[in-house]
């Protein structure tokens, strides 16, 4: 069977050196030997990885994607060899994680902080963003995502829980307005809207019979960050529709009052996702296991 690693290290060296000549000098071989290795690799893969002229060398689209995977694979091989040489089975190396802003700060980061305290050889790089990053393109090892998974071909996933939606209000708001009890009572109330791409999302709930309704809420403020929505609610500017894991924190402090603990609609699954690979690095596996153990206990719904 063809060795799938044959030529990979040379290809990475060529890309990083920027030319066959410089790569040959670094590897102490001839330029023609480098050319033959790359030609065999492209022939085996059935794609062109590099566009070459007499003056410049550039990666093709396929070459970019393959290079990213090769760098990741070689790094994991180096880490595996280091573990064997040292006799350790501790997670080590750099772990790049992408998490949603609010959920990341309140729920994911504390788990990863605990992992860092436990494993001194693990360097954790956390990026907080509500943008759905391209894990492979941006060289991310692990991400936490809320909602439907878009990519099921190149990513593996593990379910961490379900996010339920709640409605709450500040005590100061409720002293100025009648507390809503039934669905019709919400008509005319101010609500802080959550917007995506400039479009406020409607407030939908299920009644006791399981019938879906859209609440008729006046929306003076529209924000695209749920932590900011919580802040506006605490300031008494209107009702807020928030994930249960966030609303319950402010209910516990008395800053908000729960009016509808579970709306019954738009529950969203929470997953840990990572690039599919035959070998899951120990550092990634430890982080996934820690998240799968601790996040379900955080009163997500």
Does residue 215 contact residue 200 with C-beta atoms inside 8 Å? no
- Give the pLDDT of residue 267: 85
pLDDT > 80? residue 2: no
Residue range 115-143, pLDDT digits in tens: 999 999 899 999 999 888 889 888 899 99
Nearest to 202 by CA among 218, 188, 189: 218
Nearest to 235 by CA among 171, 291, 164, 299: 171
Pairing of strands 212-214, 204-206: antiparallel
pTM above 0.85, yes or no: no
Nearest to 246 by CA among 235, 236, 256, 237: 256
Query: What mean pLDDT comes out for the span 166-185?
Result: 94
Residue range 189-230, pLDDT digits in tens: 999 999 877 788 889 998 888 899 999 899 889 998 999 999
Please tell me whether residue 59 adopts helix, strand or coil conformation: strand
Q: Which of 56-60, 94-98, 244-248 has the lowest mean pLDDT?
A: 56-60
As a whole-number percent, the residues of the chain with pLDDT over 70 amount to 93
Confidence class for position 1, pLDDT limits 50, 70, 90? very low
Nearest to 8 by CA among 45, 52, 53: 45
In which residue are the tokens 């507390």 written? Answer: 179
pLDDT > 90? residue 158: yes
Does residue 168 contact residue 257 with C-beta atoms inside 8 Å? yes
What domains are there in the chain, each with its CATH number? 8-85 (1.10.10.10), 90-161+268-297 (3.40.190.10), 165-260 (3.40.190.10)
Return the bridge partners of 144, or none. 272
Dist CA 17 CA 266 (whole Å): 50
Cα–Cα distance list, 109 to 114, 116, 143 (Å): 9, 10, 12
């Amino acid at each position: 069977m063809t060795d799938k690693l044959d030529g990979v290290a040379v290809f990475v060296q060529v890309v990083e050196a920027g030319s066959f000549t410089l790569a040959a000098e670094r590897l102490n071989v001839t330029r023609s030997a480098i050319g033959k290795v790359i030609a065999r690799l492209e022939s085996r893969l059935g794609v062109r990885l590099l566009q070459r002229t007499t003056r410049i060398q550039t990666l093709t689209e396929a070459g970019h994607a393959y290079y990213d995977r090769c760098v990741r694979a070689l790094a994991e091989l180096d880490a595996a060899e280091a573990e064997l040489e040292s006799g350790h089975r501790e997670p080590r190396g750099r772990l790049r994680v992408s998490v949603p802003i609010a959920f990341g700060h309140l729920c994911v980061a504390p788990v990863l902080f605990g992992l860092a305290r436990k494993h001194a050889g693990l360097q954790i790089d956390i990026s907080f963003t509500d943008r759905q990053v391209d894990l492979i393109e941006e060289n991310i090892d692990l991400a936490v995502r809320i909602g439907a998974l878009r990519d099921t071909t190149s990513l593996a996933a593990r379910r961490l829980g379900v996010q339920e939606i709640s409605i709450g209000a500040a005590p100061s708001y409720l002293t100025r307005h009648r507390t809503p009890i039934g669905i019709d009572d919400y008509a005319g109330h101010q609500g802080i809207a959550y917007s995506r791409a400039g479009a406020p999302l409607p407030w939908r709930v299920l009644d006791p019979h399981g019938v879906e309704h859209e609440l008729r809420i006046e929306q003076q403020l529209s924000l695209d960050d749920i932590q900011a929505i919580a802040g506006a609610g605490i300031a008494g500017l209107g009702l807020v529709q928030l994930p249960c894991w966030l609303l319950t924190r402010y209910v516990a402090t008395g800053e908000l009052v729960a009016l509808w603990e579970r709306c019954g609609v738009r529950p969203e699954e929470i997953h840990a996702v990572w690039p599919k690979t035959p070998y899951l690095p120990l550092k990634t596996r430890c982080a996934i296991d820690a998240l799968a153990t601790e996040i379900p206990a955080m009163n997500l719904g």
